[in-house]
Homo-oligomer: A and B are copies of this chain.
Amino acid sequence: MSLHPLPTPGFSFELLATLGHARAGILHTPRGDIETPVFMPVGTAGTVKAMTGDELRALPIDAKIILGNTYHLYLRPGLEVMGAVGGLHKFAAWDRPILTDSGGFQVFSLAKLNDIDDDGVTFRSHIDGSKHRLTPEVSMAIQAALGSDIAMVFDQCPPGDADDATHELALARTTAWAKRSLAAPHAPGQAVFGIVQGGIDTARRLRHMAEITALDFDGHALGGLAVGEDIADTYRILDEVAHLLPANRPRYLMGVGTPTDLEKGIAAGIDMFDCVMPTRNARNGYLFVQSGPRVNIPNAANRLDLGPIDPECPCATCRTHSRAYLRHLYLAKEILYARLATLHNLTFYARHVRAIRDRILADGDRA
Contacts and interface: CB of A to CB of B under 8 A. Distances in A.
A45 interface: yes
A302 to B, nearest CB: 10
Nearest to A54: B316
A325 B80 contact: no
A306 B90 CA distance: 10
A336 B322 CA distance: 23
A231 interface: no
A91 interface: yes
Given A91-B324, A321-B93, A324-B85, A335 B50 contact: yes
A336 to B, nearest CB: 5
A2 interface: no
A328 B93 contact: no
B50 A325 contact: no
Interface in A278-319: 303-304, 306, 316
Nearest to A46: B328
Interface residues of A, number: 38
A47 interface: yes
B325 A49 contact: no
A51 B81 CA distance: 29
Nearest to A328: B77
Contact of A325 (B46, B304, B327, B336): B46
Contacts of A336: 47, 49-52
A169 to B, nearest CB: 34
Contacts of A54: 316
A92 interface: yes
Contacts of A93: 320-321, 325
B52 A325 contact: no
Interface string A61-83: 00000000000000011001100
A81 B304 contact: yes
Those 9 A-B pairs whose CB atoms lie nearest each other, nearest first: A50-B335, A77-B328, A84-B304, A47-B336, A45-B332, A93-B320, A335-B338, A47-B334, A91-B325
